[in-house]
Structure 1
């Protein structure tokens, strides 16, 4: 408690001092009072707050940069050791980005840059004049015929280095920290809980939360859709990554090195990541978790750096260049990766194999050499990496059965614990492994069972399935899977931070299409007495062979006496169970494995005369008249959800059925 009282006294002193500042100091010298107060409070509760960073002695102010000045840059052209390349200043573009200038330089005399011109992956390469750093290689012209690039001034990058990163939003040890209980605004993604390390004012933490919420899937938590999420993220980051209008000038871009990916997974990566300003490239992927003995143990100015989305038997890494190492943190890229603000993605010391020249945009080919640090801040002028932090990741283990003699039935990966990247790479990684191991051009059926372990909430089991007519399994098959939707739902829930601890997926493959088409349905007795079950003959067409018939029985509720009753027949995987909309993470966890009926079943649905209601996690499938008014709270507007009551009869089929049909029976009235 004494520390808190001291902090409060210090805050009061800061306010008095701030007022004296405002009374007589020129405006450009005034430090905003809110920043001073936030700094004191944050220190009191443990947040890491960077002090204002003056221009170091080895940095040249932009005002001293003149056309014609010559110097050099540092970047890795092969291996892990930076090399020098010549630069010459052309001019300075004022206000290229909001409150950010851009220095134009040419890179003459270097044989590789003369051929390659602007190089994706060189983003962040530090540029020096008279031995002093002026900024980072960061922008270039598409289809440019001269080796001319744009340099982000180092002052703008140092400002990002000075920006505080609240510990509450940057968990250590690989597990996200709970945010707190849900408030009335939680449905819009705003929580009230304060984590350890936030200041009482919470301005930096609140801003960081808003940035993280901007990357969240917008929609019902239980209805996550990867494609819609990708489109929304692309729309949000578009203004930050797009070149100024009519200039053709763009970021030197971030190539994403994909290792162990096949054709379909590469296309999916291009479709999902391309609109975000990332360039997926088939390259290779070293094992950064088991580095080579000679792999560097630290970052250096001009060294190659990777941002790892997935690593292991498949890998995906964005590659760029370190601009400046400052203690246990560093600046890189000279532009945003996704302009995501506060984030937490694993980083690695990278190794460069070659610079591949291209008429459009040349790029570095490289791979991770040693995992080290975490990308903690993704901003307009730079990314900031903290080498003392360990980014949260979760292991994914895949076991494929039924492929006798397959050389690689087991796959192991680690995936970044990110709202968008995690579900995207779960889909790509599993689909890619299946495509590689089960690349059979013949009919097959697959059944997948995934055990998803969730921190503090236990393990849930999710079933997925599919069948192919000679087309190999691929990432597309998993992009809409229950597993991917569950991961996306959990990581984008509006109530609290969640930790996906691990995923274990077992896929069983059988040869032959275990699928039947519902060709038709016929009621065997068009009229029924009350209490009599409807007998319906289903005509099922297997993929190969003659039509098979099966008679099923469907109970008809007694209150439908005297009516014509429609019975809808649909595959179980298309019929949603009557469940309440989740109002907490615990309810979401309970809903995810039970949203639909058994995939290998047919569900017969009879619509009832009553209504049903869901309220506070409970479902009443049939309510008598007037019950809804009784359930409605008199003191609040949070009313039950109502729906038309239905009776569902589940008929196990031991195969997958496609198609649907409707039949009608007449129930005789009760004679009195």
Structure 2
């Protein structure tokens, strides 16, 4: 019987009939699968992007006044597909509250939007100069996905060169708005400056706007952020937050709105802040003081109230962080004096970030100089001090700048560029520990210009002395001559010997070109190189020949034998530490300018006879 039944079953199967188990299983599994899918969908707090259709209505949440979260209405207009790699955007019209008069405001970035009680996304983009409150809503799925920590990239060479003038150059720039507002762009992030001079905002505004930031003078309600952490329960979707880049005598904060909180994880903004990836930026709960309607773009004025946590991811579609976690901040001390007479001191704490910290130092030093000294007319600025790093020697800063105008820009850049060069080298162990700078100002232009160099004799022999006269011109044509002697080495080969007197910048390029354009091997080597750069209160007489030479990790190898030169030349492609130079340095003589800046370059030549 068993055998016959088995044969009948196979016979039925071969004949195309459905076996008993194939007829019964779907009747049980299909309803169960559908029920499970419905249950999972019901449990998800997110509204699926694929289910969003034009004409749907929802509600948004944001703060218009104080800390009170209010609702506004949202009408779905459609879906913009492929606005980025695997990214879509929900197009919607906003209404309710003050939006009819203000339109989409700066500071609303991150305001959550709900459909049928489920989170669909965050207000993130808008059409510049639009009369109607039309917004782009970032799907919440894209925001949550962006918070995943990405693998670290290989260590690059320093992002900033020591002769750079723009510290924002390494920061990624968002797409600019097109004329007439034809393209939807990220809502600009308002960044509030507290304590900074108005001229500081004006000086840095073009660079900040290129980053998608809108600088504003801070309007405080009179309170300061208390040092303790606030209650995480006070922060909700729709609450206003401020990413605090600097706090103390100077304050700097970027404002946005919380979109979603998952346990102790918080998501906000709906777009990049600066798109710097993994970071450590403290954020505080803020309250809105006022709304300022504007024909260009309206914005919220807010005031930070209490610390809430740390933003540790800044990606293209959102910023995200951790509630209750305190970010480490770096103490910054700035002292300014007029000559030897102290005027004022400033104490702040700033974020510890390779891309942001140098820029913050530059803006703070600029403001200190601008607030206490004249910015028009001849002036001299000296910036000195140390920048300490954890488990590494400090970077020493000591430079002077003299100019008829723009001394604040030069002085502040001289303090920040070495810090940027070191912090952006890629060594993760190089974390800031402390910044302490002294700024001395003078109302006159303390500068010497190299006017010429001459020699007593044009021909000499090996073992003889070359007498050099360097002429320096100061203010009102005052002339100073420095006399130097150079002993031609015994056994020196006949030929032309050059003497070039140059300022520190020119000499640094000649002496450190190879090592400054290659990857440093260690933090110690990097900091040693920066500390060995020549100060601009000195000039240097370079003695050289027009013979091929090489640099090996910054060390000069002048006029090597032909066989050695061939080996070194053939090794340049395989060893980045070897570089061929156009001339061979024989010696270097220093000229001290005291408390005067020296600039210029001149050359003279002497023939060595047999």
Same fold (TM over 0.5): yes
* 2:101 alignment counterpart: 115
Structure 2, unaligned runs of 5 or more? 1-32, 34-39
Deviation at 1:404, TM superposition (A): 8.3
Distance 1:253 1:221 in 2: 25
Distance 1:305 1:494, change over 3 A: same
CA displacement, residues 571-611 of structure 1 (integer Å, 9 cap, x when unaligned): 23431274572322221111111122x42222111213665
* 2:356 alignment counterpart: 421
Give the 3-state SS of the residue equivalent to 1:77 in structure 2.
strand
CA displacement, residues 34-77 of structure 1 (integer Å, 9 cap, x when unaligned): xxxxxxxxxxxxxxxxxxx9775554334554444444322112
Distance 1:157 1:627, change over 3 A: closer
- Equivalent of 1:474 in 395, 404, 408: 408
Give the 3-state SS of the residue equivalent to 2:349 in structure 1.
strand
Deviation at 1:424, TM superposition (A): 1.5
TM-score (norm 2): 0.81
Contact 1:565 1:665 in 2 (8 A): yes
- Equivalent of 1:276 in 208, 211, 221: 211
* 1:137 alignment counterpart: 123
Contact 1:288 1:311 in 2 (8 A): no
Alignment of 1:73-472 (within 5 A): 73-110=60-97, 112-160=98-146, 163=148, 165=149, 207-210=150-153, 223-224=161-162, 226-227=164-165, 230-234=168-172, 237-238=173-174, 247-284=182-219, 290-291=225-226, 298-402=234-338, 409-439=344-374, 441-469=376-404, 471=405
* 1:46 alignment counterpart: none
Deviation at 1:227, TM superposition (A): 4.5
* 1:553 alignment counterpart: 485
- Stretch of structure 1 that moved more, 498-507 or 383-392: 383-392
Deviation at 1:458, TM superposition (A): 2.3
Contact 2:471 2:481 in 1 (8 A): yes
Alignment of 1:537-548 (within 5 A): 537-544=469-476, 546-548=478-480
Distance 1:550 1:640, change over 3 A: closer
CA displacement, residues 311-370 of structure 1 (integer Å, 9 cap, x when unaligned): 222222211100112211111112222333333222222232222111222122223222
- Equivalent of 2:552 in 594, 615, 619: 615
Distance 1:359 1:642, change over 3 A: same
Deviation at 1:504, TM superposition (A): 0.8
Contact 1:451 1:504 in 2 (8 A): yes
Distance 1:586 1:317 in 2: 34
Distance 1:68 1:222 in 2: 50
Give the 3-state SS of the residue equivalent to 1:506 in structure 2.
strand
Distance 2:54 2:564 in 1: 80
Distance 1:56 1:404 in 2: 69
2:538 is the alignment partner of 1:601: yes
Give the 3-state SS of the residue equivalent to 1:138 in structure 2.
strand
Structure 1, unaligned runs of 5 or more? 1-28, 30-52, 166-206
Give the 3-state SS of the residue equivalent to 1:321 in structure 2.
strand
CA displacement, residues 376-435 of structure 1 (integer Å, 9 cap, x when unaligned): 2223432212124333432221111226887x6111222222222122221111111111
Give the 3-state SS of the residue equivalent to 2:525 in structure 1.
helix
Deviation at 1:466, TM superposition (A): 0.7
Give the 3-state SS of the residue equivalent to 1:231 in structure 2.
coil
Contact 2:229 2:307 in 1 (8 A): no
Give the 3-state SS of the residue equivalent to 2:64 in structure 1.
coil
Contact 1:428 1:475 in 2 (8 A): no
Deviation at 1:286, TM superposition (A): 8.1
Contact 1:226 1:423 in 2 (8 A): no
Contact 1:350 1:368 in 2 (8 A): yes
Give the 3-state SS of the residue equivalent to 1:544 in structure 2.
helix
Give the 3-state SS of the residue equivalent to 1:121 in structure 2.
coil
Contact 2:237 2:258 in 1 (8 A): yes
Distance 1:628 1:522 in 2: 33
Deviation at 1:125, TM superposition (A): 0.8
* 2:579 alignment counterpart: 641
Query: How many residues in Structure 1 have an aligned counterpart in Structure 2?
Result: 561
Give the 3-state SS of the residue equivalent to 1:107 in structure 2.
strand
Contact 1:285 1:314 in 2 (8 A): no
CA displacement, residues 239-288 of structure 1 (integer Å, 9 cap, x when unaligned): 6x778999421122212222223344223432332222222223346899
Distance 2:317 2:478 in 1: 66
Give the 3-state SS of the residue equivalent to 1:266 in structure 2.
helix
2:598 is the alignment partner of 1:657: yes
Distance 1:390 1:289, change over 3 A: farther
- Stretch of structure 1 that moved more, 320-329 or 544-553: 544-553
Distance 1:78 1:405 in 2: 46
CA displacement, residues 141-174 of structure 1 (integer Å, 9 cap, x when unaligned): 111111222222233334345x3x3xxxxxxxxx
Deviation at 1:558, TM superposition (A): 4.3
Distance 2:358 2:170 in 1: 15
Contact 1:268 1:428 in 2 (8 A): no
